[in-house]
């Protein structure tokens, strides 16, 4: 599918990387990134920037390339193209980069034998920007205590502990690969609350990959959508609201609306709805009511297989 938003960031000071005190505030700059696993193209010509102070959702179906992109950003994979993370080539200067970047991979594990207090000591020795006091303060938001052993904690508690340890690092960028996988709704909610309340300060940026599209919509400032290794949308939520329009209409208008080539036709609260990139054509805009498309609607529209797009309801 052809990218519907340019692969270069949309205009606007934030997407271009603002300048403050003479220093560019772009945290990630990627130009034409591509990466293959054998004959499989996992990333295909991605270009984007992530400025300071953003909470960016990385969305995509299974196998879309999210983990591969995150691994490239933290220097674990070396894609073709140009990539700068916090001013460095992440692969060549990985150790240095990791002092300013927090990363929780999708298969993150904490040593099961360890006590929480021992992990705090370990982190203090390993990570120069880690604050043990800050970690203890963050743990107070959770039901985990310093005396607990990791092996006695539930999955949700381990994830909270992991975030408390990582958020106690005074970094500029946090990369989270499906951090709430396997957690119940309450644990997911408290994870994101802690992240936003305790770590995001308007200068730091977070990149989160997730399949919980509905849940993260209210947290995000920006969204990047990957489809089979391609960046099909890179947009702020504000721009999304002004650019995409959905038209809710009576069933009798279905044929006329379909002739206006919507991106997606679906049902919203039982009503026939059609999603357009931009204003619906004038010839049909009177046939229904404009409604705000959700991120999920947009995600469905842009990442569905072409053969089922525009399918009859």
Query: What is the binding site for ligand ATP (CB under 6 A)?
Result: 37, 40, 42, 60, 62-68
Q: How far is the CB of 226 from ligand ATP (least distance, A)?
A: 7
Q: How far is the CB of 117 from ligand ATP (least distance, A)?
A: 33
List, in sequence order, every residue forming a beta bridge with 275; answer none if it has no partner.
Answer: 246, 264
C-alpha to C-alpha distance for 195 and 276, rounded to whole angstroms = 33
Q: Which is nearer to ligand ATP, 15 or 230 (CB)?
A: 230
268, containing H or E segment: strand 264-268
Q: How far is the CB of 97 from ligand ATP (least distance, A)?
A: 20
C-alpha to C-alpha distance for 5 and 159, rounded to whole angstroms = 34
Q: Which is nearer to ligand ATP, 107 or 308 (CB)?
A: 107
Task: Return phi, psi of residue 54, to 5°.
Answer: -115, 155
Q: Which is nearer to ligand ATP, 141 or 304 (CB)?
A: 304
Of 42, 44, 50, 53, which Cα lies nearest the Cα of 76? Answer: 42
Q: Which is nearer to ligand ATP, 64 or 120 (CB)?
A: 64
The length of the chain, given as a count of residues: 313
Q: Which is nearer to ligand ATP, 155 or 292 (CB)?
A: 155
Q: Which is nearer to ligand ATP, 68 or 159 (CB)?
A: 68
Q: How far is the CB of 298 from ligand ATP (least distance, A)?
A: 18
Q: Where are the beta strands (DSSP E) in 78-148?
A: 80-85, 101-104
Q: How far is the CB of 229 from ligand ATP (least distance, A)?
A: 7
Q: Which is nearer to ligand ATP, 67 or 160 (CB)?
A: 67
At 33, is the secondary structure helix, strand, or coil? strand
Order of strands across the sheet that contains 26-37? 40-51, 26-37, 80-85
Q: How far is the CB of 42 from ligand ATP (least distance, A)?
A: 4
Q: How far is the CB of 106 from ligand ATP (least distance, A)?
A: 6
Helices 132-139, 155-167: inter-axial angle, 10-degree rounding: 140
Contacts of 175 (CB under 8 A, 6+ apart): 70, 73, 74, 101, 102, 103, 104, 206, 207
Q: How far is the CB of 177 from ligand ATP (least distance, A)?
A: 7
Q: Which is nearer to ligand ATP, 62 or 147 (CB)?
A: 62
List, in sequence order, every residue forming a beta bridge with 55; answer none if it has no partner.
Answer: 206
C-alpha to C-alpha distance for 95 and 101, rounded to whole angstroms = 10
C-alpha to C-alpha distance for 89 and 78, rounded to whole angstroms = 10
Environment class of residue 267 by beta-carbon count within 10 Å: exposed (0-12), middle (13-18) or buried (19+)?
Answer: exposed
């Amino acid at each position: 599918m052809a990218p519907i938003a340019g692969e270069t960031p949309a205009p606007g000071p934030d997407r271009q990387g603002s300048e403050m005190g003479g220093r560019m505030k772009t945290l990630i700059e990627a130009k034409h990134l591509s990466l293959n696993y054998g004959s499989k193209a996992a990333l295909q010509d991605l270009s984007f920037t992530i400025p300071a102070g953003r909470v960016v959702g990385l969305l995509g179906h299974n196998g879309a390339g999210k983990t591969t992109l995150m691994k490239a950003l933290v220097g674990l994979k070396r894609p073709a193209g140009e990539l700068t993370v916090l001013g460095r080539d992440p692969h060549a200067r990985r150790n240095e980069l990791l002092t300013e970047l927090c990363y929780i991979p999708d298969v993150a594990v904490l040593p099961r034998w360890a006590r929480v207090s021992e992990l705090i000591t370990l982190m203090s020795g390993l990570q120069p920007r880690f604050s043990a006091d800050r970690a203890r303060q963050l743990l107070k938001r959770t039901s985990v205590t310093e005396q607990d052993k990791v092996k006695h904690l539930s999955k949700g508690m381990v994830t909270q502990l992991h975030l408390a340890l990582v958020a106690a690092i005074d970094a500029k960028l946090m990369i989270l690969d499906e951090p709430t996988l396997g957690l119940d709704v309450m644990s997911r909610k408290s994870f994101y609350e802690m992240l936003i309340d305790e770590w995001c300060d308007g200068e730091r940026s977070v990149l989160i990959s997730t399949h919980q599209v509905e849940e993260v919509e209210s947290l995000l400032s920006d969204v990047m959508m990957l489809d089979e290794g391609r960046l099909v949308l890179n947009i702020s939520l504000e721009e999304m609201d002004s650019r995409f329009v959905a038209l809710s209409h009576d069933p009798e208008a279905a044929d006329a609306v379909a002739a206006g080539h919507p991106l997606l036709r679906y049902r919203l609260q039982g009503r026939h709805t059609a999603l357009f990139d931009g204003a619906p054509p004038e010839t049909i805009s009177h046939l229904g009511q404009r409604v705000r498309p959700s991120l999920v609607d947009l995600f469905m529209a842009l990442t569905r297989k072409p053969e089922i797009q525009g399918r009859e309801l």
